[in-house]
Structure 1
Amino acid sequence: MGALTGSGSTGPSGVSADPSSRRAALVRSLEAEGELSDPRLRDALLRLRREVLLPHAYVRVSGPAADPIDWRLLDGGHPDDREEWLDLVYDGDSVLLQRDGEPLDALGRGPVTGGHMTSMSTGLLATVKALETLRIEPGQRFLDLGPGPGISLALAAAVVGPGRAFGVERDRHMAAFAQRNLDRLGLGVRVVTGDALDGHPASGPYDRVHSGFGVPSVPAAWVDQLAPGGRLVTTLATRTPSWPGQLLVTRTPRGRAEAVLQGGRRGTRPLLGYRWLTSVHHRPRIEADPGRPRATRLAPPDRDAYGFWLAAAYLAEGLVWDFQEGVMRIVAPDDDSWAVPGPGEGTVRVRGRRDVWADLEAVHERWERAGRPDAYRVDLSDGGGPQHVTSGGGAHALEWTLPALATAVPVSSAHARSLPAQHGGGAGPVEQAESIVPPMRRAGGGA
């Protein structure tokens, strides 16, 4: 990689090549969208030189079905790449960084074919939401699980202070890459190589814990390493990338762990070995035959009815919400079945051996009877046992049990180096209505 250079010049597109101007514009956009309110985090974002942590970027050239995949590597130190690279670094989306667990100290710019992404930064909106939820303050001890290149770790370290922020990264090449770049920022951060599912007990307990990858249930080690008064944020990975959930765990001053699960539009990608369902291969078939129409009383639920969609991920298992050209399609890939609302009000088209829309009708009716909950309690009191979810008390409460890590991630795939593309179209966090992007490694995620 070439050396990074600062410049106040303007590139051919008329956009300032000065990273400080881009940082300010990025912060303004976050504030305008109502995503940023913490003044300490705002100051950290204005000061964080993202270009130091993201000195290169892969651009996917091939379409979503291509195999092998064609990429192009941008070198931020090369004058011919600099403007496009800075656009990627400061547009707030994810940045693709590593193929198949490769070493990161001698990458060559230009076209390359084959491989799948095993590390990328998380989109900034998801990172900011998680850090604001954590309520980071000076002097706290912060643990980042699967920090990838270290964006969230650097932001937290700028707030908590030197020597108080730690990261655990499974991939030794990424751990060394992140540590080297973080050292250039002088934040006093330590990144260790290890399985993030085990946390980092040596430097605990921690006041704030952030996971840069999604898990189907909460590892007991994470809760054990949370200090009294501490807060932990992670994405709960469901079988579908369409319906992520954000879990906030707090430990009371008396030591009890309390957890609240909420749905949302964004989340981080799941640990390596966790298989998302995908509807990509069904798209041409649905276009050709949306299905037979039937009557329904259920109008397509709003996409921001997060409490309903999150419940559907568990209570109507095996479904994927696929948006193409503004049309909702609900697909059950394993059952070779789908549903497409319309044409017109009060009708839905269904096809396959499973009436997918009937499953959603049943969950929606239960969700209505439960009082349309948008948040759920998760019982973590069993210390490694089953984690039960409930919408509250009463005969109509929604309830389910989270899948255990051991069953959700097969041993044969838990330590795989890469997986085929599962979900894509923009990179970074899980986000509703995105198309297919490469998955994340097991105990990383990129933040």
Structure 2
Amino acid sequence: MNPVDARAAMVAELEKKNGLRPGPVRDALLTLPREMLMPQAYVRRSAPGEEPPRWDLLDWSAPQDRPELLGLLYGGASVLVQHDGEPLLGRVRGTRSGASITSMSTVMGLSASLLEELDLRPGQRVLDVGTGAGVTAAVACQVCGDQEVVTLDRDRHLTDAARVRLAGLDFRPEVVCGSGEQGLPGRKFDRVFVSYAVGRVPAALVKQLASRGKLLAHVTSASPSWPALAVVERNDGGQITGELRAVEFAHRAGHGMERIWLSEDFRQRIATEPGTWTQRSMLAPPADTDRGLWLAADHLLGGLVRDFGAEHLVIGAPACGSWLRVEPVGRSRWNVTTHGPRDIWKELQDLAVRWQAAGSPSRYRLLFEPDGGQRAVSACGRLFWRLPTRRALDEGASA
């Protein structure tokens, strides 16, 4: 398959599975040669859990790499573009081991849906926060005109590469190396797009929204399990309105953001140990589609991580070692096994009652308070929580 056919196949798949609609984003994706933005990409060669991990850097200039690289670039999955913070320009193809992947191009279905949500139009001033491989910047240049686009990243290696590769597409946006959360003070933008998850919406970026402007950013706690999409807009009168939408997938966490995980050892203990007690329950666990409940749980219960690889509901609290395992045992019956100082099952069921009383929301108003605080509130006002302060996030990152 050649790149033109691969692009067409990718867009067709996005239309089928992600609901990509006719319009400027679809047109841009059909014409954008991703192999020019990402002429090199990594493929993992080591097995899960193998140490040290190993990757091969594939190169478009090497004919033997092209078939596999073409599949990576247009297959729809994340594309791994940087290992261990290295420069992207001047790399030699071959194997890398140890360390980790430090930058990747986002899953294409997620990127396309967010780009459509931005509602890009010609002449708009766009701030792309988190340059990465330059895909968002390239689409914005195609739709809005490159003179109106600024792309910003804290990693100079990424901005250096993006500047060169975007110029190769005849796009010359303003490319800036700096703090994403600070944006460009004193400037105004019609669209602001943050391509990494944050603990709260950066206040500086909200200030940089122009009249009728829109900002998109994924908001998560330290847990990666239940994210939200923040949609922030400024009206003609200058008033800011915001919404948190519970979503299934989100960008990776930004630099320095604290994250909690279930280790492989912890997962095995949850799967095999008897726990403190098991009860037979007629209460169903919350459904996966109750994303508004899970989003509330992420913030109101805190410290919980779900094992999405488990067959049934499995949740752990890494900080204290508590866990929950729920398994169906016939019609309308579940075995609920818990362990540790937290009764996660009771916490979830109590919150489910509150969530249902609030109208089972999947979206929450995001309020920006005069003191700089941010608060998520259900439409009826009965379910709410505060997002962490900037100081709390900084302390968490340095802990």
Distance 2:383 2:396 in 1: 31
Instruction: Give the alignment partner of residue 229 of structure 1, picking from 212, 216, 231.
Output: 212
Overall identity of the aligned pairs, in %? 39
User: Would the alpha carbon gap of residues 34 and 122 (structure 1) be closer, same or farther in structure 2, given more than 3 Å must change?
Assistant: closer
Unaligned runs of 5+ in 1: 1-15, 415-447
Correspondence 1:327 to 2:312: yes
Q: What secondary structure does 2:217 align onto?
A: strand
Distance 2:184 2:64 in 1: 41
Q: TM-score of the superposition, structure 1-length normalised?
A: 0.85
State the structure with bigger RCO (CA 8 A, min sep 6), 1 or 2. Answer: 1
Correspondence 1:95 to 2:82: no
Distance 1:290 1:265 in 2: 30
TM-align CA RMSD: 1.7
> Is the Cα–Cα contact under 8 Å of residues 44 and 54 in structure 2 kept in the other structure?
yes
Distance 2:389 2:365 in 1: 17
> Is the Cα–Cα contact under 8 Å of residues 237 and 269 in structure 1 kept in the other structure?
no
Distance 1:123 1:200 in 2: 27
Distance 1:406 1:74 in 2: 41
Distance 1:171 1:254 in 2: 36
The aligned residue for residue 387 of structure 1 is: 374
The aligned residue for residue 258 of structure 1 is: 241
Unaligned runs of 5+ in 2: none
User: Would the alpha carbon gap of residues 290 and 187 (structure 1) be closer, same or farther in structure 2, given more than 3 Å must change?
Assistant: farther
Q: TM-score of the superposition, structure 2-length normalised?
A: 0.94
> Is the Cα–Cα contact under 8 Å of residues 38 and 132 in structure 1 kept in the other structure?
no
Q: What secondary structure does 2:140 align onto?
A: helix
The aligned residue for residue 141 of structure 1 is: 125
Alignment: residue pair count: 394
- The C-alpha deviation readout for 1:212-270, integer Å capped at 9, x for no partner, is 11111111110110001000000002222111100000001100110000111111111
Correspondence 1:316 to 2:304: no
The aligned residue for residue 349 of structure 1 is: 337
Q: 1:360 Cα shift?
A: 1.0
Matches within 5 A, 1:31-430: 31-201=15-185, 204-281=187-264, 282-289=266-273, 291=275, 292-344=277-329, 345-382=333-370, 385-394=372-381, 397-410=382-395, 413=398
> Is the Cα–Cα contact under 8 Å of residues 163 and 172 in structure 2 kept in the other structure?
no
Q: 1:102 Cα shift?
A: 1.0
Q: 1:179 Cα shift?
A: 0.9
| Residue type of the alignment partner of 1:132 | E
User: Would the alpha carbon gap of residues 290 and 105 (structure 1) be closer, same or farther in structure 2, given more than 3 Å must change?
Assistant: farther
| Residue type of the alignment partner of 2:188 | P
Q: 1:273 Cα shift?
A: 1.3
The aligned residue for residue 421 of structure 1 is: none
Distance 1:406 1:156 in 2: 33
Q: 1:100 Cα shift?
A: 2.0
- The C-alpha deviation readout for 1:63-117, integer Å capped at 9, x for no partner, is 4434432221111211121111110000111111112211112222222211112
The aligned residue for residue 423 of structure 1 is: none
Distance 1:103 1:265 in 2: 32
